[in-house]
A and B are shown apart, each in its own frame.
Chain A
Protein backbone atom coordinates (compact mmCIF):
# COMPACT_ATOMS: atom_id res chain seq x y z
CA UNK A 1 0.00 0.00 0.00
CA UNK A 2 2.89 2.34 0.82
CA UNK A 3 4.29 2.00 -2.71
CA UNK A 4 0.86 2.78 -4.17
CA UNK A 5 0.59 5.94 -2.10
CA UNK A 6 4.12 7.06 -2.96
CA UNK A 7 3.44 6.52 -6.65
CA UNK A 8 0.01 8.25 -6.41
CA UNK A 9 1.68 11.27 -4.88
CA UNK A 10 4.10 11.39 -7.80
CA UNK A 11 1.24 11.14 -10.35
CA UNK A 12 -0.64 13.93 -8.61
CA UNK A 13 2.45 16.20 -8.63
CA UNK A 14 3.06 15.52 -12.33
CA UNK A 15 -0.49 16.54 -13.20
CA UNK A 16 -0.94 19.59 -11.00
CA UNK A 17 2.45 20.96 -12.03
CA UNK A 18 1.44 20.89 -15.69
CA UNK A 19 -0.36 24.18 -16.44
CA UNK A 20 -1.96 22.85 -19.66
CA UNK A 21 -3.52 19.97 -17.74
CA UNK A 22 -4.85 22.36 -15.15
CA UNK A 23 -6.30 24.67 -17.80
CA UNK A 24 -8.12 21.91 -19.68
CA UNK A 25 -9.08 20.05 -16.54
CA UNK A 26 -10.40 22.88 -14.46
CA UNK A 27 -10.57 26.20 -16.28
CA UNK A 28 -11.79 25.14 -19.74
CA UNK A 29 -15.12 23.55 -18.67
CA UNK A 30 -15.80 26.54 -16.41
CA UNK A 31 -15.12 28.99 -19.26
CA UNK A 32 -17.49 27.02 -21.50
CA UNK A 33 -20.17 27.06 -18.84
CA UNK A 34 -19.88 30.82 -18.44
CA UNK A 35 -19.88 31.47 -22.21
CA UNK A 36 -22.88 29.27 -22.92
CA UNK A 37 -24.80 30.80 -20.02
CA UNK A 38 -24.12 34.24 -21.48
CA UNK A 39 -25.32 33.03 -24.89
CA UNK A 40 -28.44 31.67 -23.21
CA UNK A 41 -29.15 35.08 -21.71
CA UNK A 42 -29.12 36.67 -25.16
CA UNK A 43 -30.71 33.81 -27.12
CA UNK A 44 -32.74 31.80 -24.63
CA UNK A 45 -32.84 28.09 -25.45
CA UNK A 46 -33.72 25.18 -23.19
CA UNK A 47 -30.50 23.39 -24.25
CA UNK A 48 -28.35 26.02 -22.54
CA UNK A 49 -30.49 26.41 -19.44
CA UNK A 50 -28.09 26.23 -16.49
CA UNK A 51 -29.84 23.22 -14.89
CA UNK A 52 -29.76 21.38 -18.19
CA UNK A 53 -26.33 22.56 -19.29
CA UNK A 54 -24.22 21.98 -16.14
CA UNK A 55 -24.35 18.14 -16.12
CA UNK A 56 -23.45 18.15 -19.84
CA UNK A 57 -20.44 20.43 -19.31
CA UNK A 58 -19.35 18.38 -16.28
CA UNK A 59 -19.39 15.19 -18.39
CA UNK A 60 -17.57 16.89 -21.27
CA UNK A 61 -14.96 18.32 -18.86
CA UNK A 62 -14.27 14.84 -17.53
CA UNK A 63 -13.27 13.67 -21.02
CA UNK A 64 -9.95 15.47 -20.44
CA UNK A 65 -9.20 12.98 -17.65
CA UNK A 66 -8.52 10.39 -20.36
CA UNK A 67 -5.95 12.75 -21.85
CA UNK A 68 -4.21 13.30 -18.49
CA UNK A 69 -4.11 9.61 -17.65
CA UNK A 70 -3.10 8.55 -21.17
CA UNK A 71 -0.39 11.16 -21.55
CA UNK A 72 1.28 10.55 -18.24
CA UNK A 73 1.49 6.81 -18.89
CA UNK A 74 2.60 7.25 -22.50
CA UNK A 75 5.26 9.77 -21.38
CA UNK A 76 6.47 7.37 -18.71
CA UNK A 77 6.77 4.66 -21.36
CA UNK A 78 8.55 6.87 -23.91
CA UNK A 79 11.05 8.24 -21.38
CA UNK A 80 11.64 4.68 -20.11
CA UNK A 81 10.64 5.83 -16.64
CA UNK A 82 8.25 2.88 -16.59
CA UNK A 83 11.08 0.57 -17.66
CA UNK A 84 13.02 1.75 -14.62
CA UNK A 85 10.01 1.24 -12.35
CA UNK A 86 9.26 -2.21 -13.80
CA UNK A 87 12.64 -3.34 -12.46
CA UNK A 88 11.73 -2.24 -8.91
CA UNK A 89 9.68 -4.26 -6.39
CA UNK A 90 6.48 -2.42 -7.48
CA UNK A 91 3.56 -4.69 -8.41
CA UNK A 92 0.94 -4.19 -11.15
CA UNK A 93 -1.63 -3.00 -8.58
CA UNK A 94 0.77 -0.30 -7.34
CA UNK A 95 1.00 1.10 -10.86
CA UNK A 96 -2.69 0.86 -11.73
CA UNK A 97 -3.89 2.37 -8.45
CA UNK A 98 -1.02 4.84 -8.44
CA UNK A 99 -2.14 6.22 -11.79
CA UNK A 100 -5.88 6.19 -11.07
CA UNK A 101 -6.08 7.26 -7.38
CA UNK A 102 -5.03 10.90 -7.95
CA UNK A 103 -7.34 11.30 -10.93
CA UNK A 104 -10.49 10.28 -9.05
CA UNK A 105 -10.39 13.20 -6.59
CA UNK A 106 -9.40 15.45 -9.48
CA UNK A 107 -12.50 14.30 -11.41
CA UNK A 108 -14.61 14.94 -8.31
CA UNK A 109 -13.13 18.43 -7.86
CA UNK A 110 -13.76 19.19 -11.53
CA UNK A 111 -17.44 18.22 -11.30
CA UNK A 112 -17.87 20.16 -8.04
CA UNK A 113 -16.21 23.22 -9.58
CA UNK A 114 -18.65 23.15 -12.51
CA UNK A 115 -21.59 23.09 -10.10
CA UNK A 116 -20.12 25.80 -7.84
CA UNK A 117 -19.71 28.07 -10.88
CA UNK A 118 -23.26 27.18 -11.96
CA UNK A 119 -24.49 28.31 -8.53
CA UNK A 120 -22.81 31.67 -9.08
CA UNK A 121 -24.46 31.81 -12.51
CA UNK A 122 -27.90 31.52 -10.97
CA UNK A 123 -28.55 27.82 -10.37
CA UNK A 124 -30.51 27.19 -7.19
CA UNK A 125 -28.82 25.03 -4.54
CA UNK A 126 -30.77 21.84 -3.84
CA UNK A 127 -29.99 18.40 -2.45
CA UNK A 128 -30.32 17.13 -6.04
CA UNK A 129 -26.95 18.74 -6.84
CA UNK A 130 -25.13 16.39 -4.44
CA UNK A 131 -26.87 13.33 -5.93
CA UNK A 132 -26.08 14.57 -9.44
CA UNK A 133 -22.39 15.13 -8.65
CA UNK A 134 -22.09 11.57 -7.31
CA UNK A 135 -24.01 10.11 -10.24
CA UNK A 136 -21.66 11.75 -12.76
CA UNK A 137 -18.53 10.21 -11.17
CA UNK A 138 -18.83 6.78 -12.90
CA UNK A 139 -18.27 8.39 -16.33
CA UNK A 140 -15.07 9.81 -14.80
CA UNK A 141 -13.95 6.23 -14.20
CA UNK A 142 -14.72 5.44 -17.86
CA UNK A 143 -12.47 8.29 -19.00
CA UNK A 144 -9.65 7.60 -16.53
CA UNK A 145 -9.53 3.90 -17.43
CA UNK A 146 -9.73 4.73 -21.16
CA UNK A 147 -6.63 6.86 -20.60
CA UNK A 148 -4.89 4.04 -18.74
CA UNK A 149 -5.76 1.65 -21.56
CA UNK A 150 -4.74 3.93 -24.43
CA UNK A 151 -1.62 5.20 -22.64
CA UNK A 152 -0.47 1.59 -22.25
CA UNK A 153 -0.59 0.86 -25.97
CA UNK A 154 -0.20 4.15 -27.84
CA UNK A 155 2.64 6.64 -28.21
CA UNK A 156 2.46 10.02 -26.46
CA UNK A 157 1.59 11.72 -29.76
CA UNK A 158 -1.10 9.19 -30.59
CA UNK A 159 -2.58 9.54 -27.09
CA UNK A 160 -2.78 13.30 -27.67
CA UNK A 161 -4.68 12.67 -30.91
CA UNK A 162 -6.97 9.91 -29.68
CA UNK A 163 -7.72 11.17 -26.16
CA UNK A 164 -7.23 14.89 -26.69
CA UNK A 165 -8.93 15.33 -30.04
CA UNK A 166 -10.99 12.26 -30.91
CA UNK A 167 -12.41 11.29 -27.52
CA UNK A 168 -13.24 14.85 -26.45
CA UNK A 169 -14.99 15.46 -29.79
CA UNK A 170 -16.86 12.17 -29.67
CA UNK A 171 -17.96 13.06 -26.14
CA UNK A 172 -19.04 16.52 -27.25
CA UNK A 173 -21.03 15.25 -30.26
CA UNK A 174 -22.64 12.15 -28.87
CA UNK A 175 -23.33 13.26 -25.29
CA UNK A 176 -26.17 15.60 -26.14
CA UNK A 177 -24.45 18.28 -24.04
CA UNK A 178 -24.56 20.86 -26.83
CA UNK A 179 -27.50 19.78 -28.96
CA UNK A 180 -30.36 17.32 -28.80
CA UNK A 181 -29.22 14.07 -30.47
CA UNK A 182 -32.88 13.28 -31.28
CA UNK A 183 -32.91 16.27 -33.59
CA UNK A 184 -30.09 14.71 -35.63
CA UNK A 185 -31.73 11.28 -35.53
CA UNK A 186 -30.80 8.28 -37.68
CA UNK A 187 -27.48 6.48 -37.23
CA UNK A 188 -26.08 9.41 -35.23
CA UNK A 189 -28.77 9.00 -32.59
CA UNK A 190 -28.26 5.21 -32.52
CA UNK A 191 -24.50 5.62 -31.96
CA UNK A 192 -25.18 8.14 -29.21
CA UNK A 193 -27.38 5.61 -27.41
CA UNK A 194 -24.75 2.87 -27.68
CA UNK A 195 -21.92 5.02 -26.27
CA UNK A 196 -21.91 5.93 -22.56
CA UNK A 197 -21.64 9.72 -22.89
CA UNK A 198 -25.28 10.48 -23.70
CA UNK A 199 -26.39 8.23 -20.83
CA UNK A 200 -24.00 9.99 -18.42
CA UNK A 201 -25.50 13.38 -19.30
CA UNK A 202 -29.04 11.99 -19.03
CA UNK A 203 -28.22 10.62 -15.55
CA UNK A 204 -27.05 14.08 -14.52
CA UNK A 205 -30.09 15.80 -15.96
CA UNK A 206 -32.49 13.34 -14.30
CA UNK A 207 -30.67 13.93 -11.03
CA UNK A 208 -30.89 17.69 -11.35
CA UNK A 209 -34.67 17.55 -11.82
CA UNK A 210 -35.05 15.22 -8.86
CA UNK A 211 -36.23 12.31 -11.02
CA UNK A 212 -33.96 9.78 -9.32
CA UNK A 213 -35.84 6.73 -10.61
CA UNK A 214 -35.32 7.98 -14.16
CA UNK A 215 -31.52 7.94 -13.65
CA UNK A 216 -31.35 4.19 -13.67
CA UNK A 217 -31.60 2.83 -17.14
CA UNK A 218 -28.86 5.31 -18.12
CA UNK A 219 -26.74 4.78 -15.00
CA UNK A 220 -26.56 1.03 -15.73
CA UNK A 221 -25.07 1.83 -19.14
CA UNK A 222 -22.41 4.05 -17.61
CA UNK A 223 -21.62 1.61 -14.80
CA UNK A 224 -21.42 -1.24 -17.33
CA UNK A 225 -18.95 0.72 -19.44
CA UNK A 226 -16.88 1.69 -16.39
CA UNK A 227 -16.59 -1.95 -15.27
CA UNK A 228 -15.73 -3.29 -18.73
CA UNK A 229 -13.16 -0.57 -19.49
CA UNK A 230 -11.58 -0.88 -16.02
CA UNK A 231 -11.14 -4.64 -16.46
CA UNK A 232 -9.77 -4.17 -19.97
CA UNK A 233 -7.33 -1.44 -18.85
CA UNK A 234 -6.06 -3.52 -15.92
CA UNK A 235 -5.68 -6.59 -18.19
CA UNK A 236 -3.73 -4.70 -20.86
CA UNK A 237 -1.48 -2.92 -18.36
CA UNK A 238 -0.69 -6.17 -16.51
CA UNK A 239 0.05 -7.88 -19.80
CA UNK A 240 2.40 -5.06 -20.77
CA UNK A 241 4.41 -5.32 -17.56
CA UNK A 242 4.48 -9.10 -17.22
CA UNK A 243 7.44 -11.11 -18.41
Chain B
Protein backbone atom coordinates (compact mmCIF):
# COMPACT_ATOMS: atom_id res chain seq x y z
CA UNK B 1 0.00 0.00 0.00
CA UNK B 2 1.22 3.49 -0.87
CA UNK B 3 1.61 5.84 2.08
CA UNK B 4 2.92 8.91 0.28
CA UNK B 5 2.58 9.89 -3.34
CA UNK B 6 3.89 13.03 -5.04
CA UNK B 7 3.49 13.93 -8.67
CA UNK B 8 5.65 16.68 -10.17
CA UNK B 9 5.60 18.39 -6.76
CA UNK B 10 7.32 21.77 -6.96
CA UNK B 11 8.09 24.77 -4.79
CA UNK B 12 9.44 28.02 -6.11
CA UNK B 13 10.65 31.00 -4.14
CA UNK B 14 10.77 33.74 -6.75
CA UNK B 15 13.28 32.61 -9.34
CA UNK B 16 14.62 29.78 -7.18
CA UNK B 17 13.19 26.30 -7.62
CA UNK B 18 13.62 24.75 -4.15
CA UNK B 19 11.79 21.57 -5.22
CA UNK B 20 11.48 20.86 -8.93
CA UNK B 21 8.86 18.39 -10.17
CA UNK B 22 9.57 15.66 -7.65
CA UNK B 23 7.56 12.45 -8.12
CA UNK B 24 7.93 9.73 -5.50
CA UNK B 25 5.94 6.88 -4.00
CA UNK B 26 6.64 5.69 -0.48
CA UNK B 27 5.27 2.35 0.65
CA UNK B 28 3.60 1.79 4.01
CA UNK B 29 6.05 0.71 6.72
CA UNK B 30 9.06 1.79 4.68
CA UNK B 31 11.99 3.89 5.93
CA UNK B 32 12.53 6.31 3.09
CA UNK B 33 15.50 8.67 3.28
CA UNK B 34 16.01 11.99 1.57
CA UNK B 35 19.67 12.68 1.08
CA UNK B 36 21.39 15.67 -0.42
CA UNK B 37 23.69 18.58 0.11
CA UNK B 38 22.53 21.81 1.81
CA UNK B 39 19.83 23.50 -0.23
CA UNK B 40 18.98 20.31 -2.13
CA UNK B 41 15.31 20.69 -1.20
CA UNK B 42 14.96 18.00 1.50
CA UNK B 43 13.40 20.17 4.18
CA UNK B 44 11.14 22.02 1.73
CA UNK B 45 9.84 18.70 0.40
CA UNK B 46 9.08 17.51 3.95
CA UNK B 47 7.41 20.81 4.82
CA UNK B 48 5.10 20.51 1.81
CA UNK B 49 4.15 16.96 2.79
CA UNK B 50 3.44 18.12 6.37
CA UNK B 51 1.15 20.96 5.21
CA UNK B 52 3.61 23.59 6.46
CA UNK B 53 4.49 25.04 3.05
CA UNK B 54 2.15 25.44 0.10
CA UNK B 55 3.36 23.75 -3.08
CA UNK B 56 3.75 25.92 -6.18
CA UNK B 57 2.78 23.08 -8.46
CA UNK B 58 2.10 19.37 -8.74
CA UNK B 59 0.25 17.06 -6.38
CA UNK B 60 0.93 15.25 -3.11
CA UNK B 61 -1.17 12.88 -1.07
CA UNK B 62 -0.70 11.27 2.33
CA UNK B 63 -2.62 8.01 2.66
CA UNK B 64 -4.85 9.29 -0.13
CA UNK B 65 -5.46 12.72 1.43
CA UNK B 66 -4.47 15.75 -0.63
CA UNK B 67 -1.96 17.90 1.30
CA UNK B 68 -3.44 21.14 -0.01
CA UNK B 69 -7.16 20.52 0.33
CA UNK B 70 -7.39 17.92 3.10
CA UNK B 71 -4.97 19.31 5.66
CA UNK B 72 -7.10 18.29 8.67
CA UNK B 73 -7.13 14.65 7.55
CA UNK B 74 -3.41 14.75 6.77
CA UNK B 75 -2.62 16.18 10.22
CA UNK B 76 -4.52 13.32 11.85
CA UNK B 77 -2.13 10.72 10.42
CA UNK B 78 1.28 12.41 10.46
CA UNK B 79 3.75 13.50 13.10
CA UNK B 80 6.96 15.46 12.84
CA UNK B 81 10.18 15.50 14.81
CA UNK B 82 11.70 18.73 13.47
CA UNK B 83 15.38 19.51 13.02
CA UNK B 84 15.48 21.48 16.27
CA UNK B 85 14.47 19.50 19.33
CA UNK B 86 11.05 21.20 19.50
CA UNK B 87 10.16 20.48 23.10
CA UNK B 88 8.54 22.70 25.75
CA UNK B 89 11.61 23.66 27.84
CA UNK B 90 9.95 24.30 31.20
CA UNK B 91 7.67 21.28 31.06
CA UNK B 92 8.87 17.98 32.45
CA UNK B 93 9.47 15.01 30.17
CA UNK B 94 6.17 13.48 31.31
CA UNK B 95 4.29 16.76 30.80
CA UNK B 96 5.71 17.17 27.28
CA UNK B 97 4.34 13.76 26.31
CA UNK B 98 1.05 14.44 28.08
CA UNK B 99 0.69 17.74 26.20
CA UNK B 100 1.08 16.08 22.81
CA UNK B 101 -1.33 13.27 23.72
CA UNK B 102 -3.88 15.84 24.92
CA UNK B 103 -3.58 17.95 21.78
CA UNK B 104 -4.27 14.84 19.72
CA UNK B 105 -7.49 14.32 21.65
CA UNK B 106 -6.63 11.34 23.85
CA UNK B 107 -8.88 11.19 26.90
CA UNK B 108 -7.46 10.81 30.40
CA UNK B 109 -7.15 7.03 30.67
CA UNK B 110 -5.90 6.58 27.13
CA UNK B 111 -3.56 9.53 27.53
CA UNK B 112 -1.94 8.02 30.61
CA UNK B 113 -1.57 4.68 28.85
CA UNK B 114 0.06 6.24 25.76
CA UNK B 115 2.39 8.47 27.77
CA UNK B 116 3.53 5.55 29.90
CA UNK B 117 4.04 3.45 26.79
CA UNK B 118 6.32 6.12 25.30
CA UNK B 119 8.17 6.57 28.60
CA UNK B 120 8.81 2.85 28.58
CA UNK B 121 9.68 2.46 24.88
CA UNK B 122 12.15 5.34 24.95
CA UNK B 123 13.53 4.52 28.43
CA UNK B 124 12.47 7.95 29.67
CA UNK B 125 11.32 6.92 33.16
CA UNK B 126 14.47 8.07 35.00
CA UNK B 127 13.94 11.57 33.53
CA UNK B 128 10.14 11.75 33.90
CA UNK B 129 10.16 14.65 36.37
CA UNK B 130 13.09 16.46 34.76
CA UNK B 131 12.43 19.65 32.78
CA UNK B 132 12.95 19.31 29.03
CA UNK B 133 15.60 22.03 28.91
CA UNK B 134 17.83 20.17 31.37
CA UNK B 135 18.16 17.02 29.22
CA UNK B 136 21.27 16.27 27.18
CA UNK B 137 21.13 16.56 23.37
CA UNK B 138 20.60 12.83 22.88
CA UNK B 139 17.76 12.59 25.40
CA UNK B 140 16.11 15.69 23.98
CA UNK B 141 16.07 13.93 20.58
CA UNK B 142 14.61 10.81 22.13
CA UNK B 143 11.92 12.88 23.80
CA UNK B 144 11.28 14.71 20.52
CA UNK B 145 10.66 11.43 18.69
CA UNK B 146 8.56 10.08 21.56
CA UNK B 147 6.45 13.27 21.41
CA UNK B 148 5.88 12.66 17.72
CA UNK B 149 4.95 9.01 18.24
CA UNK B 150 2.60 9.50 21.20
CA UNK B 151 -0.21 10.32 18.76
CA UNK B 152 0.21 6.91 17.07
CA UNK B 153 0.88 8.41 13.62
CA UNK B 154 0.89 6.34 10.45
CA UNK B 155 3.68 8.47 9.01
CA UNK B 156 6.61 9.96 10.91
CA UNK B 157 8.83 12.70 9.47
CA UNK B 158 12.30 12.83 11.02
CA UNK B 159 14.21 15.91 9.92
CA UNK B 160 17.90 15.32 10.59
CA UNK B 161 17.23 13.48 13.87
CA UNK B 162 20.85 12.90 14.86
CA UNK B 163 22.44 16.21 13.88
CA UNK B 164 24.74 17.50 16.61
CA UNK B 165 24.79 14.22 18.56
CA UNK B 166 27.93 12.34 19.51
CA UNK B 167 28.61 8.89 18.06
CA UNK B 168 27.12 6.92 20.95
CA UNK B 169 23.97 9.00 21.18
CA UNK B 170 23.59 8.71 17.40
CA UNK B 171 23.94 4.92 17.48
CA UNK B 172 21.41 4.72 20.31
CA UNK B 173 18.94 6.74 18.30
CA UNK B 174 19.51 4.53 15.27
CA UNK B 175 18.42 1.63 17.44
CA UNK B 176 15.22 3.50 18.31
CA UNK B 177 14.50 4.19 14.62
CA UNK B 178 15.25 0.57 13.62
CA UNK B 179 12.73 -0.60 16.23
CA UNK B 180 10.08 1.50 14.51
CA UNK B 181 10.66 -0.15 11.14
CA UNK B 182 7.54 -1.75 9.64
CA UNK B 183 5.40 -0.25 12.40
CA UNK B 184 5.43 3.31 11.09
CA UNK B 185 6.27 4.76 7.68
CA UNK B 186 9.33 6.95 8.24
CA UNK B 187 10.58 9.76 6.05
CA UNK B 188 14.08 10.63 7.15
CA UNK B 189 16.25 13.51 6.03
CA UNK B 190 19.91 13.34 6.89
CA UNK B 191 23.36 14.55 5.94
CA UNK B 192 25.00 11.40 7.26
CA UNK B 193 25.54 8.80 4.56
CA UNK B 194 26.12 5.94 7.00
CA UNK B 195 22.86 6.83 8.72
CA UNK B 196 20.88 6.65 5.49
CA UNK B 197 22.69 3.43 4.54
CA UNK B 198 22.06 1.78 7.89
CA UNK B 199 18.42 2.74 8.34
CA UNK B 200 16.79 3.11 4.94
CA UNK B 201 14.84 0.71 2.79
CA UNK B 202 15.18 3.17 -0.08
CA UNK B 203 17.08 6.41 -0.55
CA UNK B 204 16.19 9.40 -2.68
CA UNK B 205 19.13 11.66 -3.52
CA UNK B 206 18.06 15.22 -4.21
CA UNK B 207 20.15 17.79 -5.99
CA UNK B 208 19.08 21.36 -6.72
CA UNK B 209 15.49 20.39 -5.98
CA UNK B 210 15.39 17.49 -8.45
CA UNK B 211 15.61 13.74 -7.93
CA UNK B 212 19.12 12.69 -8.84
CA UNK B 213 18.74 9.03 -7.97
CA UNK B 214 16.29 6.76 -6.16
CA UNK B 215 16.65 3.19 -5.02
CA UNK B 216 18.00 0.81 -2.41
CA UNK B 217 21.62 1.14 -1.32
CA UNK B 218 22.60 -1.80 -3.55
CA UNK B 219 20.73 -0.38 -6.53
CA UNK B 220 22.49 2.98 -6.17
CA UNK B 221 25.88 1.27 -5.90
CA UNK B 222 25.14 -0.83 -9.00
CA UNK B 223 23.84 2.19 -10.91
CA UNK B 224 27.11 4.05 -10.38
CA UNK B 225 29.40 1.01 -10.74
CA UNK B 226 31.04 1.79 -7.41
CA UNK B 227 31.81 -0.39 -4.41
CA UNK B 228 30.53 1.65 -1.45
CA UNK B 229 27.51 3.81 -0.85
CA UNK B 230 29.73 6.79 -0.09
CA UNK B 231 31.40 6.44 -3.49
CA UNK B 232 28.01 6.07 -5.14
CA UNK B 233 26.76 9.25 -3.48
CA UNK B 234 29.87 11.23 -4.40
CA UNK B 235 29.67 9.91 -7.96
CA UNK B 236 26.03 10.98 -8.32
CA UNK B 237 26.47 14.39 -6.75
CA UNK B 238 29.77 15.16 -8.53
CA UNK B 239 28.36 14.11 -11.91
CA UNK B 240 26.22 17.24 -12.04
CA UNK B 241 28.90 19.51 -10.59
CA UNK B 242 31.48 18.41 -13.17
Q: Is the CB of B91 within 8 A of A88?
A: no
Interface string of A89-115 (1 = CB under 8 A from B): 110000000000000000000000000
Interface size, chain A (Cβ < 8 Å): 23
State whether the Cβ of A13 lies closer than 8 Å to any Cβ in chain B.
yes
Q: Is the CB of A81 within 8 A of B75?
A: no
Question: What is the CB-to-nearest-CB distance from B135 to chain A, in angstroms, rounded to a whole number?
Answer: 13
Q: Is the CB of A89 within 8 A of B75?
A: yes
Question: What is the CB-to-nearest-CB distance from B25 to chain A, in angstroms, rounded to a whole number?
Answer: 21
Q: Is the CB of B80 within 8 A of A3?
A: no
Interface size class of B (residues with CB under 8 A): 35 or more
Q: Is the CB of B75 within 8 A of A88?
A: yes
In chain B, positions 81-132 with a C-beta closer than 8 Å to chain A are: 81-91, 95, 99-100, 102-105, 131
> Bound state CA distance, A87 and B148, in angstroms?
10
- The majority secondary structure among interface residues of chain A is helix
Question: What is the CB-to-nearest-CB distance from B142 to chain A, in angstroms, rounded to a whole number?
Answer: 15
Which one of B80, B86, B103 has the greatest number of beta carbons of chain A within 10 Å? B103
Q: Which of B68, B82, B84, B91 contacts A243 (CB 8 A)?
A: B68
Given the complex, which residues of B lie within 8 Å of A239, measured CB to CB?
none
Q: Which of A18, A78, A88 contacts B90 (CB 8 A)?
A: A18
State whether the Cβ of A116 lies closer than 8 Å to any Cβ in chain B.
no
Question: What is the CB-to-nearest-CB distance from A80 to chain B, in angstroms, rounded to a whole number?
Answer: 4
Q: Is the CB of A84 within 8 A of B82?
A: yes
Given the complex, which residues of A lie within 8 Å of B51, measured CB to CB?
86-87, 243
Q: Is the CB of B90 within 8 A of A17?
A: yes
Q: Is the CB of B90 within 8 A of A14?
A: yes
Which one of B72, B99, B147 has the greatest number of beta carbons of chain A within 10 Å? B99
> Bound state CA distance, A10 and B88, in angstroms?
8
Interface string of A1-24 (1 = CB under 8 A from B): 011001100100110011000000
State whether the Cβ of A32 lies closer than 8 Å to any Cβ in chain B.
no
Q: Which of B50, B78, B84, B102 contacts A6 (CB 8 A)?
A: B102
Q: Is the CB of B91 within 8 A of A90?
A: no
Q: Is the CB of A243 within 8 A of B53?
A: yes
State whether the Cβ of B193 lies closer than 8 Å to any Cβ in chain A.
no
> With A2-B105, A6-B102, A87-B78 in contact, is A13–B87 under 8 Å at CB?
no
Question: 13 A-B pairs, CB-CB below 8 angstroms?
Answer: A2-B105, A3-B105, A7-B103, A17-B90, A79-B84, A80-B83, A80-B85, A81-B87, A84-B148, A87-B51, A88-B79, A89-B72, A243-B53
